[in-house]
Chains A and B, each alone.
Chain A
Amino acid sequence: MLLEILDLDAAYGDVPALSGVGLSVEPGEIVALLGPNGAGKTTLLKAIAGLLRPRAGTIRWEGEDLNRVPTHLIVERGLALVPEGRRLFASMTVEENLTLGAFAARARCAQRANLERVYALFPILRERRRQIVRLLSGGQQQMVSVGRALMSRPRLLMLDEPSLGLAPLMVQAILDVLVEINRGGAAVLLVEQNVRAALTLAHRAYILETGRIVGEGGGTELLQDPHVRRAYLGPLAAPEYFVL
């Protein structure tokens, strides 16, 4: 087991955000995390990355408890988060952002090779490497954000709404890259609004509602699930109307 979460509680002040959440990711898996706005998806990713300390429960990474590991050392262990809203260093160049992604000691030795790998995945970033990130399009910024996370050579890449606000073609491009990253051996934990696309590429998925896991299953299995169809895919979602 790569990542195992047991009975996790988290809160913002007095407001509970997660209660009794359990989730696991096996090596090489793509796992989708679905749910409505405010369900706690971002909170869960933040807790795993160490930006938010849970109230109770355990987050285990390769059998080791992460609760007491400082946030900057969690990256070192091979867990990277592409945060919601990209959170780039906007006044720096593309390449500065990417090399900062390899700040962790383990990643630094292979910085050159990692950079080549990211440029191979996103050739446009090589062309733009001297540009200030603020001046890039939203899609290119998202590429930088994914690339920055990849620079740390993660064994689990977590992404929080990577397609938010992007043009449909760009969404597809980003999702295709995720599949490619996964083929390269990294597991992926994906929070995504685009439920159909997420379930199509995920091996497994969890459904989070008001801070609790209410459903779990294989990606294609959940695509057929009546609750998922009603709540997330809409009344016209039957396969006879749309070709998947």
Chain B
Amino acid sequence: MIILCQQLVLGFMIGGLYGLAAVGLSLIFGVLKILNVAHGELIMLGGYGAYWLFTLVGVDPFASLTIVVPAAVVAGLALYWLLFRFVVRAQEERRIKNSLLIGFGLALALDTLAVKLWTADERGITTAYAGKVLIAGDLAIPVVRLASLAVAFALIAALHLLLTRWRWGRAIRATAEDWQAALLTGIDVRRAYLLAFALGTGLAGAAGTLVSIGYSISPSIGLEWTLKALIVVVLAGLGSMFGTFVGGLFLGVAEAASAAAFGGPYREMIGLVIFLVVLMARPQGLFGAR
């Protein structure tokens, strides 16, 4: 029983990162109507960014968020300008297909780049406080993972503030709902696309940093994270950032429960089962409108 609880708590904490990864993907998907399948690779690169800052310069990984996230935003601006701005010119129905092709290409390129730069070995950041554990009753809670969960939540809250208070944040939401109506109110929809994409990649950078702290990174983790994010987006539906975050927590706990019930190899399976069940029973997702 204690073991089960322990696993569920750990699942909850990785779920926060699933949520963070998914919110970035969901923002880009909801606004630009494109699916960036290289989202996981951007997470991976964010992780290596923090890894480099830690091993080469000695920057604390949590502090490195203040460097990695802005860098990821800039990378997002560049990627949008180089690759995705052509995709959003197409009609909405064609965007998905075109973005998949570009995304897969980008994912392969980034994978290869990462192998060249950091080899295919697994890496992680081991700080002085990495082994610290918080004891709560019979449960042991790793401090870095708990802190990562808190940071993930804070980032979602910050995003929520941006999207509701900032003028361009409201423009991004308006564009997501109805881009033609947004144009009619004088919003430069192309700029809303650019900003949403950059915010999404910024979140990927943050997620990558947190993954490299509490878990491990290697060049091949990209696809796995894209899949997790995609499952959460389908599970939660579009439109609510907090809903997506909750969806991530749910997936983390469900995976832990599945691993406890059927054994470790079945951890991944539950996500795919959820994916199928949601698509069959509630295709708009748990928190999606319509």
Contacts and interface: CB of A to CB of B under 8 A. Distances in A.
Given A100-B170, A100-B174, A88 B185 contact: no
Given A92-B173, A100-B174, A103-B171, A83 B189 contact: no
B184 A49 contact: yes
Contacts of B171: 100, 103
B204 to A, nearest CB: 25
A89 B186 contact: no
B159 to A, nearest CB: 16
Contacts of B177: 89-92
B88 to A, nearest CB: 14
Contacts of A81: 184
A67 interface: no
B166 to A, nearest CB: 12
A149 B187 CA distance: 13
B134 interface: no
A72 B174 contact: no
B239 interface: yes
- Interface bin, chain B: 10 to 19
Nearest to B178: A87
Nearest to B188: A72
Contacts of B189: 72
A177 B66 CA distance: 52
Of B173, B184, B188, chain A has the most CB atoms within 10 Å of the CB of B184
A151 B187 CA distance: 13
Interface in B181-227: 181-189
A104 B182 CA distance: 11
Interface string B155-183: 00000000000010011011001101111
Nearest to A76: B186
Contact of A51 (B173, B184, B185, B186): B184
A75 interface: yes
A71 interface: yes
Contact of A72 (B167, B170, B187, B239): B187
A80 B185 CA distance: 8
A139 interface: no
Contacts of A148: 185
B173 A75 contact: no
A107 interface: yes
Interface in B226-256: 239
B289 interface: yes
A87 B239 contact: no
B183 A89 contact: no
Contact of A75 (B167, B170, B184, B289): B184
A152 B185 contact: yes
A76 B173 CA distance: 20
A161 interface: no
B184 A100 contact: no
Nearest to B177: A89
A106 B214 CA distance: 49
Contacts of B187: 72, 100, 103
A96 interface: yes
A20 interface: no
Interface in A77-121: 80-81, 83, 87-92, 96, 99-101, 103-104, 107
Contacts of A83: 180-181, 184
Contacts of A152: 185-186
Given A89-B173, A90-B177, A103 B186 contact: yes
A70 interface: yes
Contacts of A50: 183
Contact of B186 (A92, A96, A107): A107
Of A75, A107, A151, chain B has the most CB atoms within 10 Å of the CB of A75
B181 A96 contact: no
A89 B181 contact: yes
Given A70-B188, A92-B174, A100-B174, A87 B183 contact: no
A92 B182 CA distance: 13
Interface in A151-189: 151-152
Interface of A: 49-51, 70-73, 75-76, 80-81, 83, 87-92, 96, 99-101, 103-104, 107, 148-149, 151-152
Given A87-B181, A89-B174, 19 more contacts: A50-B183, A51-B183, A72-B183, A72-B186, A72-B187, A73-B186, A75-B184, A75-B185, A83-B184, A89-B173, A90-B289, A91-B239, A91-B289, A92-B174, A96-B170, A103-B167, A151-B185, A152-B185, A152-B186
Complex A-B, nearest 9 residue pairs according to Cβ-Cβ distance, in ascending order: A104-B186, A75-B186, A87-B181, A103-B186, A71-B183, A72-B188, A89-B177, A100-B185, A89-B174
10 contacts: A75-B185, A88-B181, A89-B177, A91-B239, A91-B289, A92-B177, A100-B185, A103-B185, A103-B186, A149-B184
Interface of B: 167, 170-171, 173-174, 177-178, 180-189, 239, 289
